[in-house]
Chain A
Amino acid sequence: MGHILLRHRDEGLENLHQLDVYRANGGYDALKKVLDEYSKDEVITIIRDSNLRGRGGAGFPAGLKWGFIPKVDGDKYVVINTDESETGTFKDRELVERNPHQVIEGALIAAYAIGAKQIYNYFRGEFMSAAFNFEEALQECYAAGLIGENIMGSDFSCDFSCHYGAGAYICGEETALLNSLQGDLGQPWSKPPFPAVEGLYSKPTVVNNTETLANVPPIIMNGADWYKSMGTERSAGIKIVCLSGHINKPGNYEVEMGTSYRDILFDEKYGGGIPNGKKFKALLPSGGSGPVIVDDALDAPMTYEGLTEHGSVMGSASLIVMDETVDMVWAAMKMIHFFRHESCGKCTPCREGVFWMKIVIDRIYNGIGTEKDIKTLESVANQIQGNTLCALGEFAINPALATIRHFPEEYRAKIK
C-alpha cells in the first residue's frame, strides 16, 4: 500500500510538490468534492466522524475544534501550525517541503468548513527553504485558481499567506503563535478566550497542525469509516513518527496508530534496531517534552492513551532513542537547558522555576551537588506542575521527574 501522507515517497511521485503531478494523482479532488457536494456542516461532520485528532501532540479532535467556530458571518481564520520546534520532530518539514499541496488542500477544506477567507501558515523561522518551496506551491495554486477568488469556479474565496517565526519554541503553542502572527510578543495568553472564539485579531480562528490538515483530503476522498478502520478506537488513522538518536534507520515513518513502540524501534520496516550492538536504554516518545520511558513500556501501543500508565505521552511522536551509553543526568540537563532557553518568561513558575532547575541540575552534573539538590530539583519540578499558564512549563519538568524516577542511581552516583 502506498503512503497516505508521505506520498512523495511512493514510486513515481517524487515530484508531488509540483501542482501538475499532484493533480494528476488525485490532487485537489477532495477540495472539488467538498465544493461540489458538501455543506460546511457536512465537512465538519465527516472530520468529526473520522476521529482525526490533533497531530501536533495534544490530540484534540479536529472536527470538534472546527465545530466550535461560531456559525456567524465575519472574519475568521485558519492558521497552520508549522512551527515544528519540538526536539526530534521533523515530520511537518517533510510535508511542506515534499507534499505541500496536500497541506494546502487540507487547509482550504478547513477554511471552507468554518467560513474563513484567509489562511496563514506559520513557519518555524529556520524552515526558510521549506517555506520557499511551500510559497512556490501557493503561487501555482493562485495561478490555477485553487486559491483566491471563486476557487474552482465556486462561491468560495480564500487567500493564503505565509509567516515566518523568529525561532521560538513557545510559538508552537497556539495562542503564542497567534500573538506572534499578529506582530505581538510571542507569549501565550490565558485561555479563555479560546482561539475558536477570539483568536487571530480577536476573530474566530482554527489553529491546526500541518500533519493534521494533511490527513483531511484523504479522509474526504475515502470517508470517515475508511480512516477509522486504521488505528484504534480512540486513536484512529495513521501518524508520522520521527525517529532519531541511537537507531539504525532514523527518519520519518508513516505508522498505523496502535503499533507498539517496540515494533517501531526494532522492526526492519521502521527503525531497525540499535546500532553497533548496543543495548536500548531509554526512549523519549515525544521529544524533550514527554517523560522518558524504559524497556517495560515498549510494548505499549503508540496511541494518545497508550503510555498513560507508564506516565508518558505519545505527543507528536518524535521518538528519540538512547542506548546504554547515554548518561541520563546529562540527557536531562540538556533538555532542561533547552526549556530554560525557550521559556517565554510570561508566567512566574516556568520563568523562575525552570531557571532554578537548570542551576540545580548543572550543579549535580558537575559533581558538586548534594542529596539535597536532588530533592530540590524534584520539589521545584513539582512546584511548577499545575501552576503554569501554558503547557511549556508542564513539559519542562518532565526531563527531571522522569529521569529521577527511572534512573535514581545515576543521580546518586554524581553527588558528593
Chain B
Amino acid sequence: MSDLVTLTIDGTELSVPKGTRVADAAKSVGIDIPVFCHHPKLEPVGACRMCLVEIGMPMRDRATGEPMLNEDGSPKINFGRGLQTSCTAVVGEGMVVHTDTEAVTDVRGTLLEFQLVNHPLDCPICDKGGECPLQNLVMDHGKMESRVYFEDKRRSDKHVSLGDLIFLDRERCIQCARCIRFQDEVADDRVLQFHNRGVNLEIVTMSDPGFDSYWSGNTTDICPVGALTTADFRFGARPWEMTPSASICSQCAVGCNMTVNTRREARSGGKPVIKRILPRQNEAVNELWLCDKGRFTHDYVASPERLTSPMMRKDGELVAVSWDEALNAAAEGLQAASSVAGLAGQRLSNEDYFMLQKLFRKGLKSGNLDVNNRQIGGGDVVAQVGIAAGSDLQQLGKGDAILVVASDLHEEAPLWWLRVKQAADRGAALVVINGRSTRLSSHATHNLQADSGDIVATVRQLVSMAKVETDGTGALDAAAETLITANNLVAFYGYEGLSYEETESLAKALANLLLIQMDGEPHVGRMNNGLIPVWPYANTQGAWDMGIHPALLPSYKAAKMTGMDAVAMFAGAADGSLDALYVVGADPIGDGWMADRGKLGLLIVQELFMTKTAVTADIIFPAQSWAERDGTFTNGERRVQRYYPAIRPAGDSRPDWQILSQLGERVGAGKAETVTSLVFRSLTKAARQYKGMDYRSLGQVEAQWPVVGGDDRYYGGNAFANTAGLGKQWAAVAESKAVKQFEMDDAVSSREDGLLLINAASLYTAGTLIDKSAVLAPRMAKITLTINPVDATAYEDGDTLMVRTDRVTVQATAVVSDDVMVGTAVLRGVKAMNGTAVARLSKIKE
C-alpha cells in the first residue's frame, strides 16, 4: 500500500504522506491556512478554530462500496455539515478541501473578531507588534471596526513573572496552549498549566522556581501573540528595528543554529548591540529550538569588563600598548624563550585553531599544543566511526536504537537530550549507562546503572555479548540484543565519572560495538549510524580536527614528536622547565589547573576578559567575541557550521585567528592572513576531512519542513528561516572504507579507596561567559554535593561541607539522597574538576 495520499486543495492536486494534517498539507504547497493553536511540532488540538475550512470526502455507495459519481463522471463529494478544523483533520484519499469559499472567509473574520473581544489592542506598545500573527491575520482577514465597548473588556494582570526569565501578559493571551503543550510534549517539563476556565482561563506555572525549565525561551517564540516575553528582550526593541545575523551557539557541542538580532543604540555610541537571540531553523541540528543557556548567555559580549586594547606589563603594571608593540614583543619573547607551549580553550573557531597550530608548528617549531581541559578522549576514534554525514536524529524511531554512556545530556547538550528523548518517544530503543539516574533514564528502554569505575567494563561486557548470540536473560544481554539488532544505531559517550584514559577505552569499546556486522552491515558508515562524542565545549571537535593536540597534526596525522600536553605544561610552569606559555581563550589559573604562573618566563594571554590568568600575564591580546566576527565551529556530529558577525568589535580587539596570524608572520610562519574565508580555504588543504568545503558551500540552504520565517512566522513561531547555511558534515573514515575493530588494552580501572567524587554537569555552571548574564544569574547552579545516606551518617541535608580533593577545594551544600550509589558523591555546579578523585569531607559549623 502506498504511503502517500492524494487530495485536492483549492484545485491543486497534491500527494502527502499518510497521516498528514490538512493544514500542513496545504502549507506544503504554499496555501496558507491561518492558525493560532496549531504548531507543526505539537499535537493538534483544534482549539482556536482559526483553521476551519470546507473538507469533503468522495461518497461511496453503501451497498457496493463503489465510488458515487456525478453526471459528468466526476466523483461525488460529501462536504458534511459545517466546516472542519484543518489542523486536526487527517488527509484522506480523494479528499477535496476548499479554503477560499465565502463560508471560510466569513468564519475567519468571525473568529478574529472573537479573538479581539478581550484583547487589549495594545499593539503600539507590544513587543510582538510587527511580527504578531494575530496582528497580521486581523490585517488580512479581520473586521476593522470593533463592536465591543472597550470598558467591557476583561481586565487582567499585564506583568506576571513566570519565573525570572519569562513574563506573561494575561490580557494578550489567547489561550492557544502552545506554551503548555510545548512544555508537555516537547520539553517534558510540565511546569505550565491552565488555571480557572472560560474567559478566566489563564496560564500559571506549577514549579518552584517559576517556569523551571531549560526550554522556557522557546515558548516566547511560538506564542502567537505578545503574551509571553523574555526578561532580556521585553520592552527592548521593535522587531522591525532589528538586524538579523546568522550565528551558531558557542555554548555546547550541539551547535544550534541561531539568529542574533541587533539594533543600534545610543548607549553603545550608535553601534549595534545584541537585543535578543532566536533559533534559526536547522532540522538536522536544533530544529526550531534553543535552550535558555544559548539564548540568554550573550550579555558578556557587551560587558564593560571586556578587554579592548593590547596590554603589556611595564614596571610590574599592565598598561595599554599598540598592537605592533605587543605583537613585536610577543614575537621576540617567544623566539627568545628556551621552550614554548600553546594552550587553547575549546570555544575557538576552526580558523583560530588552524592559525594557532601554524604559529607553533611552523613558526615556533614546537609541538607543545593542547586544549586546556582535556576531559574526554576518542577524537581519533570518532574520525573513524563518527556518525555518518547526512544523519539526522529526527529520523530515528521504531526499530532504531540509541546508546548513551556516561553523560547527562539534559545538562551537557540539551538539544541532544531533546532529540534523543523524542526518538525514544517515536519508538527508538534507548539504552542508558551511567553511574546515576539522569533525566534521560525515565525514557530509557534499558537503564543500566553501573558504578562509575565499572562503566567501561560494563560497556565492554555489553560489546562481547553483542558479538555472539547469547541466551542470557540479564538486563545487559537484553540491552546488547536490542542494540545490535537495531536498524540504525547511534552511540553517545561522555565523561561523567571517568578518567581521560577510561573515555578513550570507552570510545573504542563503543566503536567495536558499532563495527559488529549484523547481516553483513556494521552500524557505521551509513546515515543515522555511528558515534557521537559529548564534547564539553562548542568546538572541541574543531580542536581535534585542526591538530590542537600534542601528538596529532591536522587530519589526525601523527606528529613526528609528541609535544607537551596540558598537564605537562602546568607542571613545567610550576617547576620552571617551561619558559613561555601562550594561552588562547582559556583560564588555567581561574579554573584551578595552575596555582599561579609559577616560574614562567613569559605568559601571553589572548582573551575577552581580564581572567585570573590574564592578570598575571606579561602580554595580553584582546580578542573579539564570537558575535563580532565570522568563523566556523564543528559540532559533535562533525557538522562544520558558519557564523557571521553581528555587532562591531569591542574597542581595539581582533579576531583570534588574525592575532595568531600576525604573530605568526613575525616568527616566520608565513604571510599574515587577512580574510577569514581564506584562512578556511588554507585549513581545508591541511585538514583533508574538510576538503571541498568553502564558505559558500557552508552557507548553502535547502528547503526544510516545517516552513518558517517571513509571513509564515505564526506557523513555526518566531524562529528564523535558515538562509545562511545548514553546514556540512565531514565524512568519517568508515563512510569510504572498512574500519577494523579497535585493539583494546587490558581493562584498567583505577579507583583509590575512599569516597569517589563525580562531577556532574549542570547547564548553568558558573564560568567566565555565563557569569555575565543578568537574566540567568538567579538560575545559576548552586554547588551541591549529593551523598548516599549510608555515607552521610555525619551529615544532613543542607549542611555546608568543605569538599577537598588532591586538586580542588570547594564549599558545597549537602544533599542526602539515594539517587547516588553508596561510596559515591556527586558534585554539581563546579566546572574545574574532571576525571575522578577521592573526596575528603568536613562539615563547616554554622
Give A residues with C-beta under 8 Å from B.
168, 170, 185-187, 189-190, 192, 340-349, 351-356, 359, 376, 383, 386-389
Bound-state CA distance A316–B49 (Å) is: 28
Bound-state CA distance A343–B47 (Å) is: 13
CB distance from A218 to the nearest CB of B (A): 33
CB-based contact A387/B198 at 8 Å: no
Task: Please pick, from B81, B107, B175, B199, the residue contacting A387 in the complex, using a CB distance under 8 A.
Answer: B107
CB distance from B311 to the nearest CB of A (A): 60
CB distance from A265 to the nearest CB of B (A): 33
Task: Name the CB-closest residue of B to A354.
Answer: B198
Instruction: Using known A-B contacts A356-B117, A356-B148, determine if residue A351 contacts B49 with beta carbons closer than 8 Å.
Output: no
Task: Please pick, from A189, A340, A359, the residue contacting B198 in the complex, using a CB distance under 8 A.
Answer: A340
Question: In this assembly, does B197 line the interface, its C-beta being within 8 Å of a C-beta of chain A?
Answer: yes
* Stretch of B70-78, B82-90, B483-491 lying at the A interface: B82-90
- Contacting A at CB under 8 A, from B746-795, are none
Instruction: Using known A-B contacts A345-B199, A348-B111, A348-B174, determine if residue A190 contacts B45 with beta carbons closer than 8 Å.
Output: yes
CB-based contact A351/B199 at 8 Å: yes
CB distance from B838 to the nearest CB of A (A): 46
CB-based contact B194/A355 at 8 Å: no
Residues of B within 8 A of A345 (CB): 175, 194, 196-201
Q: Which 4 A-B pairs have the closest CB atoms?
A: A345-B201, A190-B46, A352-B114, A343-B198
Task: Please pick, from A189, A343, A347, A359, the residue contacting B48 in the complex, using a CB distance under 8 A.
Answer: A347
Report the interface size class on chain B: 35 or more
CB-based contact A387/B83 at 8 Å: yes
Task: Please pick, from A189, A349, A352, the residue contacting B45 in the complex, using a CB distance under 8 A.
Answer: A189
Question: In this assembly, does B118 line the interface, its C-beta being within 8 Å of a C-beta of chain A?
Answer: yes
Residues of B within 8 A of A340 (CB): 198-199
CB-based contact A341/B107 at 8 Å: no
Residues of B within 8 A of A187 (CB): 194
Output the residue of B83, B118, B199, B200 with the most chain A CB within 10 A: B199
Instruction: Using known A-B contacts A341-B198, A387-B107, determine if residue A352 contacts B47 with beta carbons closer than 8 Å.
Output: no
Task: Name the CB-closest residue of A to B111.
Answer: A348
CB-based contact A355/B118 at 8 Å: yes
Residues of A within 8 A of B52 (CB): 387
Task: Please pick, from A189, A359, A387, the residue contacting B49 in the complex, using a CB distance under 8 A.
Answer: A387
Bound-state CA distance A186–B81 (Å) is: 27
Cβ contacts A to B, 8 pairs, < 8 Å: A340-B198, A345-B194, A345-B201, A348-B115, A348-B175, A351-B198, A355-B154, A383-B113
Output the residue of B107, B114, B118, B149 with the most chain A CB within 10 A: B114
CB-based contact B46/A389 at 8 Å: yes
CB-based contact B111/A349 at 8 Å: yes
Residues of B within 8 A of A343 (CB): 197-199
Give chain B's interface secondary structure class: loop
Task: Name the CB-closest residue of A to B82.
Answer: A386
Task: Name the CB-closest residue of A to B175.
Answer: A345
CB-based contact B201/A351 at 8 Å: yes
Residues of B within 8 A of A346 (CB): 45, 47, 175, 201
Question: In this assembly, does B702 line the interface, its C-beta being within 8 Å of a C-beta of chain A?
Answer: no
Residues of A within 8 A of B45 (CB): 189-190, 346
Residues of B within 8 A of A190 (CB): 44-47, 85, 88
- Contacting A at CB under 8 A, from B238-296, are none
Bound-state CA distance A170–B198 (Å) is: 11
Question: In this assembly, does B193 line the interface, its C-beta being within 8 Å of a C-beta of chain A?
Answer: yes
**A-facing mask of B181-196, CB < 8 A → 1, else 0?**
0000000000001101
Question: In this assembly, does B315 line the interface, its C-beta being within 8 Å of a C-beta of chain A?
Answer: no
CB distance from B17 to the nearest CB of A (A): 19
Instruction: Using known A-B contacts A387-B49, A389-B49, determine if residue A348 contacts B193 with beta carbons closer than 8 Å.
Output: no
Question: In this assembly, does B147 line the interface, its C-beta being within 8 Å of a C-beta of chain A?
Answer: yes
Known contacts A348-B111, A359-B149; 15 additional CB pairs below 8 A are A189-B45, A192-B88, A346-B47, A346-B175, A347-B46, A349-B49, A351-B114, A352-B199, A353-B117, A386-B82, A387-B49, A387-B52, A387-B83, A387-B107, A389-B49
Task: Name the CB-closest residue of B to A393.
Answer: B49
Residues of A within 8 A of B115 (CB): 348, 352
Bound-state CA distance A186–B197 (Å) is: 9
- Contacting A at CB under 8 A, from B84-137, are 85, 88, 107, 110-111, 113-115, 117-118
CB distance from A15 to the nearest CB of B (A): 40
CB-based contact A376/B175 at 8 Å: no
Bound-state CA distance A355–B114 (Å) is: 10
Bound-state CA distance A388–B110 (Å) is: 12
CB distance from A119 to the nearest CB of B (A): 28
Bound-state CA distance A192–B45 (Å) is: 11
Bound-state CA distance A145–B50 (Å) is: 53
CB-based contact B47/A185 at 8 Å: no
Task: Name the CB-closest residue of A to B152.
Answer: A359
CB-based contact A349/B114 at 8 Å: yes
Residues of A within 8 A of B48 (CB): 347-348
CB distance from A385 to the nearest CB of B (A): 9
CB distance from A168 to the nearest CB of B (A): 7
Task: Name the CB-closest residue of A to B196.
Answer: A345
Instruction: Using known A-B contacts A345-B199, A352-B199, determine if residue A388 contacts B193 with beta carbons closer than 8 Å.
Output: no
Bound-state CA distance A342–B196 (Å) is: 10
Residues of B within 8 A of A349 (CB): 49, 110-111, 114
Residues of B within 8 A of A189 (CB): 45-46
Bound-state CA distance A389–B47 (Å) is: 7
CB-based contact B83/A355 at 8 Å: no
Residues of A within 8 A of B197 (CB): 168, 170, 186, 342-345
Residues of B within 8 A of A389 (CB): 46-47, 49
Instruction: Using known A-B contacts A345-B175, A386-B82, determine if residue A352 contacts B117 with beta carbons closer than 8 Å.
Output: yes
Bound-state CA distance A122–B149 (Å) is: 41
